[in-house]
Amino acid sequence: MAGYQKFGSEKTRKRVKRKGTIRKRITGTAERPRLSVFRSAKHVYAQAIDDVTGRVVAAASDLEPGLRDSLSGPKKARARQVGKVIGEKLKSMNVNAVVFDRNGFIYHGRVKEVADGAREAGLEF
């Protein structure tokens, strides 16, 4: 992504640069949307995006009212639940496969847990 110098810390700038490199290679369609994961220090967010039309097909986070009350425990457990929720939403929309976008984050910890939760819900990567 051009303009990655605008972001704050060196760590964030490097992540955004990696994100741009990843986004050159992957795109989502209506049949196979891009599952993008973002994690902050406290929360995790996931979106299924159709890049052809520019629409967010489904979204989930640990801040959703129904999910927020039932979640407790470590952040990794909450991330897995977010993956399950977005997987169930996509399955109800007859979407069986997604392209995983780790958004420049390393594939471990909470990012991996979101992917595992989506797989448990029946999505194929």
The total of structural domains in the chain comes to 1
Give a yes or no: residue 41 inside a domain.
yes
**Cβ–Cβ < 8 Å for 47, 59:** yes
pLDDT along the chain (125 residues), means of 10: 65 90 90 95 96 95 85 88 95 96 94 97 93
Query: CA of 111: how far to CAs of 52, 53, 54, in Å?
Result: 25, 26, 23
Range of the domain at 66: 4-120
pLDDT at residue number 65: 86
Give the dihedral sign, CA 95/82/64/22: negative
Give a yes or no: residue 83 inside a domain.
yes
Domain CATH number, residue 95: 3.30.420.100
The token pair that represents 78 in the structure block: 């909450």
